[in-house]
Amino acid sequence: MQRVGIVGYNQVKLYSDANYGRYEMIFEAVRGAIDSAGLKKKDITTVISCTNDYYEGRTISNCFTVEVGGGYMADESKVEMDGAHAVLYGLMRILSGNHKLAVIWGGSMASCFPYHSARLYETDPTWERPVAYVNDISSAGFQMRAYLQKYGVNNEDIAKIAVKNRKNASKNPLALEEAKNPNITIKDVLESGIYADPVTELMVAQPCDGVAALLLAPEKQALKITDNPVWITGVGYSQDTYYLGDRDLSGSKSMEVASKMAFNAAGIKDPKSEINVAELFEAYAHEEIIFSEAIGFAEKGKGAELNTEIDGEIPINPSGGAIGGNPPCGTGLIRIIEAAKQLRGEANGYQVKNARKAIASGQIGMCAQNNILFVLEGGN
């Protein structure tokens, strides 16, 4: 696969109730990304956005954002999944040779809509929605329970992940204020209110307000725009079946298929030794362990034994991950930006030493039904 470079990015600081207008936030993200690469509006040839009609409260949500997103008289389209899928579409447009610079932006404001009601609309309208036993809240409980039962892991091991991510988020200046808990302990996590037994409140990635933007360019242009591009060397994406009963919830088949596809494209044989840092979109703390097993960092059931601190054997989510702030439709994009920051050496305060290769993931659907994984490589 030809190399495509990430040449600029910008992320707005995450707030749980931002004092911004919607268009102002989008403009700040996109303009900041273009300025960070030293480019102008007329260099943009294509714009891909990522918003969701039910989260925005309006249909055709890309209709009025054409101007602020930089899409005036540019080839523009909209992906309605996670921000990482929009990066995938932008990547495909660059690989086609038709475009020389792609702007990808995504994110929405969770304070403006009833998040769980909007998520309920994803369920099967005939059988699941009327009773609503299966929804995004209870499915988290189902998955964590399945994982704990199968491998005999206990709640403390899962809570450790939440503690690690919240402590990491306190070093990330752009993370959500409520997620910055530098002095949190396992006991605090286990005793916070029940979200969906056995998941507790502090193990959940809180939906918030935020928008992020990213620039992609083909290899030749990327080397001219910046002397420190981050290359996307592989990508894999896959969608699992919908009904929770048809899947093995203690693992993530879609992440296995996606990571295999991505590692094949990037030529990676042993992820544990070759990857230096991972930024995974974990909507709940237990998903991080399940994903790290599916990617191949650990044996099945042994994911909790990995040392995933910033100075550990395989740092996962040094920026705090999604637990550090989860703007719907933007979190996957932010994960890619954080991984790129690590490879460029710009992650002040939570930098992993000598990061050469990284992975970043995004997901959509209940219990991560559709997963996407990017393999990134530093310029040097």
Supply the minimum distance, in Å, between the C-beta of residue 173 and other proteins. Answer: 23
* Closest to other proteins by CB, 13 or 129: 129
Identify which range of 83-91, 143-151, 191-199, 221-229 contacts other proteins by CB under 8 A. 83-91
Q: Determine if 43 is a binding residue for other proteins (CB under 8 A).
A: no
> Which residue type sits at 75?
D
Cα separation, 50 vs 82, whole angstroms:
7
Q: Would you call 375 helix, strand, or coil by DSSP?
A: strand
φ/ψ of 194, rounded to 5, equals -75, 130
When asked if residue 347 is in the footprint of other proteins (CB under 8 A), the reply is: no
Helix (H) or strand (E) segment spanning residue 253: helix 253-266
If the CB atoms of residues 61 and 308 are measured against other proteins, the closer one turns out to be: 61
Residue 46's SS3 state is strand
Map the footprint of other proteins across residues 263-282, applying CB under 8 A.
Answer: 264-265
Neighbouring CB atoms inside 10 A of 132's CB total 11
Give φ, ψ of 5 to 5 degrees: -105, 140
Binding mask 92-131 for other proteins (x = CB under 8 A): xx-xxxx----------x-xxxx--xxx-xxxxxx--xx-
Q: Whose Cβ is closer to other proteins: residue 120's or residue 310's?
A: 120
For tokens 């599916």, the residue is: 294
Q: How far is the CB of 168 from other proteins (least distance, A)?
A: 29
Residue number with CB closer to other proteins (192 or 264): 264
Q: Which stretch binds other proteins (CB under 8 A): 23-31, 165-173, 199-207, 335-343?
A: 23-31
Contacts with other proteins, 58-77, as mask; x by CB under 8 A: xxx-xxxxxxx-xxxxxxxx
Place of tokens 């409260």: 57
DSSP 182: T
- Minimal distance, residue 260 CB to other proteins, in Å: 10
**Those residues with Cβ within 8 angstroms of residue 42's Cβ, 6 or more apart along the chain or in another chain:** none
C-beta closer to other proteins: residue 168 or 259: 259
- Assess 1 for contact with other proteins (CB under 8 A): yes
What tokens were used for 58?
A: 């309006």
**Rounded distance, CA 292 to CA 380, Å?**
26
Residue closer to other proteins (CB basis): 50 or 304: 50
Q: Which is nearer to other proteins, 198 or 234 (CB)?
A: 234
CA angle 36, 41, 44 (to 5 degrees): 90
Indicate whether 349 belongs to the interface with other proteins (CB under 8 A): no
Question: Residue 152 — left, alpha, or beta (φ > 0 → left; ψ -120 to 50 → alpha)?
Answer: left
Closer residue to other proteins (CB): 113 or 151: 113
**Contacting residues for 63 by C-beta, under 8 A, at least 6 apart:** none
Interface segment toward other proteins; rule CB under 8 A; list 56-64, 151-159, 192-200, 269-277: 56-64
Question: Which segment (135-143, 156-164, 181-189, 259-267) binds other proteins by CB under 8 A?
Answer: 259-267
